[in-house]
Chain A
Amino acid sequence: EDKVVQSPLSLVVHEGDTVTLNCSYEVTNFRSLLWYKQEKKAPTFLFMLTSSGIEKKSGRLSSILDKKELSSILNITATQTGDSAIYLCAVEAGGAQKLVFGQGTRLTINP
């Protein structure tokens, strides 16, 4: 059974800190790994990673995939209170395009 595991499940830091969120997966026929940010509504897309070792970056957020270790990290530098959200990792596997989600990491940034 395809599985995606995120850690930590919950993280509380102060504004300005740097955080690293982890995602590991066990799936058949890996196609891509995606990161989403979820606030009060549906998830919003952050990154899609398909190639190992290539960092994707958007402002203070960056992510990298390690296919050998079957894992990915999401880094957020100089965190702001607006970064508080649940960060979801999902893996697209097999031929059906469906996503398997991890449990999410609830990130809280305190001022």
Chain B
Amino acid sequence: GAVVSQHPSRVICKSGTSVKIECRSLDFQATTMFWYRQFPKQSLMLMATSNEGSKATYEQGVEKDKFLINHASLTLSTLTVTSAHPEDSSFYICSARDTWLLQETQYFGPGTRLLVL
């Protein structure tokens, strides 16, 4: 199947700093990528839909000024957690679907574990 990468795989930062997470589709183009968050022992919750060349669509309850999303190219979306706090510590996962294969499923990146001290 298609490959989606995320970087970094894990990050520890101090409270108040900003952290950028990259999501790349390695062998296909994705006009739309999705960002999820997963807290321990819970399921994945969609945070936002990232659209290439336009603004992201955020789910209810997700602060767009805190979680900045940029989808600058057909293979890259970034999520920046601004002024991170300990409660932002979570597992962040992106997914992407091949733009040209509309019936294909979404492929997930390996995830990024964020720990805010």
Contacts and interface: CB of A to CB of B under 8 A. Distances in A.
Contacts of A36: 108
A48 B111 contact: no
Given A42-B110, A96-B57, A97-B32, A88 B49 contact: no
A42 B38 CA distance: 10
A34 B105 CA distance: 8
Interface stretch (A12-20, A58-66, A77-85, A101-109): A101-109
B54 to A, nearest CB: 13
A34, A99, A102 — most chain B CB neighbours (10 Å): A99
A36, A42, A98, A101 — most chain B CB neighbours (10 Å): A42
Interface stretch (B12-20, B39-47, B61-69, B72-80): B39-47
B105 A48 contact: yes
B93 interface: yes
A19 B93 CA distance: 28
Contact of A102 (B32, B43, B93): B43
Contact of A88 (B1, B32, B44): B44
Interface in B81-117: 93, 95, 97, 105-111
A1 to B, nearest CB: 9
A44 interface: yes
Contacts of B43: 88, 101-104
Interface in A29-79: 32, 34, 36, 41-45, 48
B105 A45 contact: yes
Interface of B: 1, 32, 34, 42-46, 49, 57, 93, 95, 97, 105-111
Interface of A: 32, 34, 36, 41-45, 48, 88, 90, 96-104
**For the complex of A and B, 3 pairs with smallest distance between CB atoms:** A42-B108, A42-B111, A101-B43
